Structure 1
Amino acid sequence: MLSAIMRKRIAIAIICLFPFPLLAQQQWNLKECIDYGLKNNRSNAVYDNEKRIADAKAKEALADYLPKVSVTGSFDDNLKVQQSIIPAGVFGPDPVRVAFTQKFNTNGTAQLDQTIYDQALLNGLKANKYNKQQADLNVKQNQETLIYNISNAYYQIYVYREQLRLLKENLDSYRKQMDISKLQVQKGVTLQKDLDKVTVDYNNATSQIRVAESNLTLAQNQLKYEMGYPIADVLPVDSVSQQDAAVVPAEIATTDNSFTVANRTDYQLSQVNSKLLEIDEKRIKAGALPRLTGYVRYGAVGFGNTLGPAFSDLNPFSAVGLKLTIPLFDIFKRNAQYNQAKYKTLNAAENLKLDEGKYQMEFENSRTKLLKAQTNLSNDKRNIELAESVFRTTDLQYKKGVTTLIDWITARNSIKDAQNNYLNSLYSFYQARLDLEKANGSLKTYYNSL
């Protein structure tokens, strides 16, 4: 048998060998959950790829204004050599048949083309800046969505835990009353039906606890999904740190009446889209202008009645030139495309004005809802305190025999009703708070302030 001192030393050694995280499991608060989600949610990879696509589009547009080099080569085996006819009187009285090639013919050419002026391409290059802005704003909008969804799921967990706490308090109250009623039935002081009434409420509370536990599990899985956290792993959420969140932040959020529509990421995206439509309109219009291109060409040709000379005896040639392209007969198609782009640009400008009013309305409505939710939450908290005060008085009267079990059950049910109203108000408050941050375009600020 090991001595007590030896057992103590072995226990200390085992503890020292264990990793610290296994001894003290981390409790995830809201900010840590959001931090994890911003780094690990799979949607981040999607929007990062969108940024890379925008960069590739910019390079593609620029490539049209960079030099382009092409190399071509051909080899012909003229099974029947084509002949041309020189009319009579040029080299004699009779027409002369002449072949200007031989059986084998090789041709190799390298050409460099450089666009010198193309207004449509120049206008297209201006879109690169806005394509990159659009990709960056999409990343920002995705981050705001993650902040909103993770916060919403996190607060749901807090509400369900609060519900479970209240339900377990109710269950404990019913259990104590059941024990008292059983003794009273055994002594013949009360009837079995009184015990049955309390038992029914006890069983109902048990069922409600099972439902609440199921809802809590679903909310935890939803939070894991929004975070990009493994569903099968345990995520210990620290909702204790959020217990004061229903009081202080509301005062701060509702006192600020200022609203700037430009803070909304979706409005910024609409502005960028409007700029891109304007550029597209100008690009189509510039398609009617002449395009000037320069080129340098170098090559060699070879001929021979046998295969060897066609490759060995090559005759080089070269040229430098300009090419001016003036589109003339596509005016109807271009006008149709231009009109489409013009009206899309006009609609985008009108939609921006509509969005200004829409987002202003969303902000005002969200602020009103938060004020109302805050008031309801405070009232419902006080109602629970009042219902509990009434129940304590009724419980004391019932123990002294001056009131009936019906009055006791009614008072207990009043607490349950007040608790349900409080839980609904609590969730409505959290929802309204997040909606206000979203409507104000301040979800990132809200996250940074956690």
Structure 2
Amino acid sequence: MKKKKLLIAVLILITGTSYAQNNWTLKSCIEYGLKNHRSNVVYANEKKAADAKAREALAAYLPSVNIQGSIDDNLKVQETVIPAGIFGDHDIRVAFTKKFNTNPMAQLDQTIFDQSLLTGLKANKYNKESAELNVQQNNETIIYNISNAFAQIFVYREQLSLLHTNLDNYHEQMDITRLQVTKGTVLQKELDKVTVDFNNTVSKIHVAESNLTLSYNQLKYEMGYPLTDTIMVDSLEAAKAFNSLAIATPDASTFSAANRLDFRISQVNEKLLAIDELRLRNGIYPRLTAYARYGAIGYGDNLNESFKSLATYSAIGIKLSIPILDFYKRNAQSAQAKYKHLNAIEQLKIDEGKYALEYQNARTKVIQEQGNMDNNRRNIELAQSVFNTTNLQYQKGTTDMTDWLNAQNSLREAQNNYLSSIYNFFLARIDLEKAGGSLKTFYLAL
């Protein structure tokens, strides 16, 4: 018996723990998404690829060793003619090779000076920086998408709560009207009017429940959470997270385009284009390379003999390469890089103005949506007050069903406007954080 009670207690504890873990807050959803969304793997791989690209560029200035070999089977050995008069009165045909020639060789090359290559190495720093900024931008996208999905869940749950309240009102009124119809004090059509609105509300509840399920699936997708697993949003925390957004909007004077990751990525790309332009221009300088070679050569009438008679040789030296006749090609390439760089500089100026405009518009929209939300909140309180008064009057018989239905419809319209303004304000607030480049700060402050 004691063991059975202990088992039950353990099961209750496990169930309670699982339930607590399933009550997700906005911050915990974002935290999970930042760790588990599949896009993290993609951008992590891009970062590793940038590191590998940097090593590849550096490798061009490190020593390289090549081993090669050849085996020639001279099907018809070439002969050379020694003119008459040197070794006799007649021309002499002599072969200076044999049927088989073997030539294994190893060569080490080391770049001593290549200004174009040295310039290209400067790009490594910015390639790594660009990859890191892309990772941060992906994190911002995850924060934005999860916040959006979280907002939809919050609004649909609020909508369901209001619809169920309206359904209770219609149900109560149906009971009253049905009794009146039985007593003969009102006509059946009065009951039918309420029944129609009741059925419409039931249909709206089904739609809202379906939308809520879809919103949960969207949230799980944006988090990288298994779609087949259940996840529950903490209702109290949802309201808290929503209320935390209703803070004073940031001052427009605090905006800086440099806070935007996409702007900083464009700045890095501009620097990369500047390096590419300089690299092409520096192609005019000579290239100096050192080498060391060691090999062997053998001859024989058969293959085995050619390997047995190998004679080794070695050499060291330097090689100077001065480009002369590629001026037109190099100049054309340099000109293309120059104009791409100039366009990147101009695009930065355009983007700076565009991002400032986006921030100003987002800030204006937040102020507008906050005003709409406050007005709709007051309006729903007023509509609720009118409905309560009309409902009391109807119960006392001082008003008719038409007034009651009009009051209920006005309340329902006010509720819809309020829900719409809540969602619009939430999105406007998130859009403002995105436009200001402060989504990560928003997440950390939750």
Q: Same fold (TM over 0.5)?
A: yes
Residue pair 1:376, 1:425 contacting (<8 A) in 2 also? yes
| Secondary structure of 1:18's aligned partner | helix
1:72 Cα shift?
A: 1.2
Aligned to 1:262: 258
> 2:251 and 2:167 mapped to 1: Cα distance?
40
Which deviates more from structure 2 when the two are superposed, residues 243-252 or residues 402-411? 243-252
2:94 pairs with 1:101: no
| Secondary structure of 1:251's aligned partner | coil
- Normalising by structure 1, report the TM-score: 0.95
Aligned to 1:239: 235
1:53 Cα shift?
A: 0.6
> 1:257 and 1:427 mapped to 2: Cα distance?
27
Q: 2:55 is matched with which residue: 48, 56, 59?
A: 59
Amino acid at match of 1:136: E
Aligned to 1:201: 197
Aligned to 2:140: 144
2:410 pairs with 1:414: yes
Residue pair 2:109, 2:291 contacting (<8 A) in 1 also? yes
What RMSD in Å do the two structures reach over aligned CA positions? 1.5
Residue pair 1:254, 1:371 contacting (<8 A) in 2 also? no
2:15 pairs with 1:22: yes
Residue pair 2:252, 2:360 contacting (<8 A) in 1 also? no
Which deviates more from structure 2 when the two are superposed, residues 362-371 or residues 169-178? 362-371
- Counterparts in 2 of 1:39-54, with a 5 A limit? 39-54=35-50
Q: 1:329 is matched with which residue: 309, 325, 330?
A: 325
Aligned length: 443
1:333 Cα shift?
A: 2.1
> 1:254 and 1:390 mapped to 2: Cα distance?
38
Amino acid at match of 1:380: N
> 1:168 and 1:393 mapped to 2: Cα distance?
20
Identity fraction in percent = 60
Instruction: Give the 3 Å change call, closer, same or farther, for CA 146–19 of structure 1 in structure 2.
Output: farther
Residue pair 2:26, 2:241 contacting (<8 A) in 1 also? no
Aligned to 2:180: 184
2:382 pairs with 1:386: yes
Instruction: Give the 3 Å change call, closer, same or farther, for CA 119–92 of structure 1 in structure 2.
Output: same
Instruction: Give the 3 Å change call, closer, same or farther, for CA 226–248 of structure 1 in structure 2.
Output: closer
Instruction: Give the 3 Å change call, closer, same or farther, for CA 191–10 of structure 1 in structure 2.
Output: farther
Instruction: Give the 3 Å change call, closer, same or farther, for CA 276–431 of structure 1 in structure 2.
Output: same
> 1:394 and 1:322 mapped to 2: Cα distance?
102
Amino acid at match of 1:14: L
Residue pair 2:63, 2:111 contacting (<8 A) in 1 also? yes
| Secondary structure of 1:85's aligned partner | strand
Which structure 2 segments of 5+ residues have no match? none
| Secondary structure of 1:253's aligned partner | coil
Aligned to 2:213: 217
> 2:255 and 2:354 mapped to 1: Cα distance?
12
Which deviates more from structure 2 when the two are superposed, residues 288-297 or residues 159-168? 288-297
Aligned to 1:398: 394
Which deviates more from structure 2 when the two are superposed, residues 191-200 or residues 296-305? 296-305
1:390 Cα shift?
A: 0.8
Which deviates more from structure 2 when the two are superposed, residues 302-311 or residues 73-82? 302-311
Deviations 1:335-381 (A, max 9, x none): 22211111110010000001110111111111111111111111111
Amino acid at match of 1:62: L
Instruction: Give the 3 Å change call, closer, same or farther, for CA 296–395 of structure 1 in structure 2.
Output: same
Which deviates more from structure 2 when the two are superposed, residues 252-261 or residues 275-284? 252-261
Residue pair 1:224, 1:230 contacting (<8 A) in 2 also? yes
Q: 2:6 is matched with which residue: 13, 33, 36?
A: 13
| Secondary structure of 2:313's aligned partner | strand
Deviations 1:409-436 (A, max 9, x none): 1011110011011001000010011000
Which deviates more from structure 2 when the two are superposed, residues 280-289 or residues 266-275? 280-289
| Secondary structure of 2:293's aligned partner | strand
Which deviates more from structure 2 when the two are superposed, residues 331-340 or residues 403-412? 331-340
Amino acid at match of 1:29: T
Amino acid at match of 2:10: L
Instruction: Give the 3 Å change call, closer, same or farther, for CA 19–397 of structure 1 in structure 2.
Output: closer
> 1:303 and 1:14 mapped to 2: Cα distance?
89
| Secondary structure of 2:103's aligned partner | strand
Residue pair 1:246, 1:429 contacting (<8 A) in 2 also? no
Aligned to 1:111: 107
1:295 Cα shift?
A: 0.5
> 2:178 and 2:231 mapped to 1: Cα distance?
42
Deviations 1:377-423 (A, max 9, x none): 11111111101111111111111111111011101111001101100
Residue pair 2:363, 2:432 contacting (<8 A) in 1 also? yes
1:10 Cα shift?
A: 5.2
2:429 pairs with 1:433: yes
Which deviates more from structure 2 when the two are superposed, residues 76-85 or residues 407-416? 76-85
| Secondary structure of 2:24's aligned partner | coil
Aligned to 1:3: none
1:254 Cα shift?
A: 4.0
1:286 Cα shift?
A: 1.7
Which deviates more from structure 2 when the two are superposed, residues 218-227 or residues 84-93? 84-93
> 2:433 and 2:195 mapped to 1: Cα distance?
46
> 1:112 and 1:391 mapped to 2: Cα distance?
92
1:248 Cα shift?
A: 4.5
> 2:293 and 2:264 mapped to 1: Cα distance?
48
> 2:243 and 2:12 mapped to 1: Cα distance?
38
Which structure 1 segments of 5+ residues have no match? 1-5
Aligned to 2:356: 360
Residue pair 2:245, 2:426 contacting (<8 A) in 1 also? no
Aligned to 1:163: 159
Which deviates more from structure 2 when the two are superposed, residues 168-177 or residues 65-74? 65-74
Residue pair 2:43, 2:131 contacting (<8 A) in 1 also? yes
1:311 Cα shift?
A: 1.3
> 2:300 and 2:424 mapped to 1: Cα distance?
91
| Secondary structure of 1:65's aligned partner | coil
Which deviates more from structure 2 when the two are superposed, residues 22-31 or residues 181-190? 22-31
1:108 Cα shift?
A: 1.3
1:196 Cα shift?
A: 0.6
> 1:425 and 1:268 mapped to 2: Cα distance?
34
